[in-house]
Amino acid sequence: MIYRVPTDVWKERIESIALGLVDAQRLPPLIVEWRYGHLIVCDGSHRHGAMSLKGWTACFAVTCH
């Protein structure tokens, strides 16, 4: 299920998380799913946003069907 939060709340949360990120290998994997030909983050969207904010381009992920 897609859950949306207001943009200002999202930005505040990912900025806060990004401040504490040091090593992608120490983070839990993102849970992703193929949906309509795209990978959708099912769990870990805030971590994903924070990693993107830091410029990280790779992380661990688990794919579910």
Domain membership flag for residue 31: yes
Is residue 1 predicted with pLDDT exceeding 70?
no
User: Helix crossing, 7-20 with 45-53: angle to 10°?
Assistant: 70
The pTM of this model reads 0.86
Q: Where are the beta strands (DSSP E) in 6-57?
A: 30-35, 38-43
pLDDT tens-place string over residues 12-34: 999 999 999 999 899 999 999 99
Neighbours of 27 (CB within 10 A): 16
Number of domains in the chain: 1
Q: What is the pLDDT of residues 29-64, one digit of tens each?
A: 999 999 999 999 999 999 999 999 999 999 999 998
Whether residue 22 lies inside any domain: the answer is yes
- Is residue 20 in a domain? yes
Q: What is the pLDDT of residue 9?
A: 95
Residue, of 19 and 5, whose pLDDT is higher: 19
End-to-end Cα spacing for the chain: 14
Q: CB count, 10 Å around CB of 36? A: 5
Report if residue 41 sits inside a domain: yes
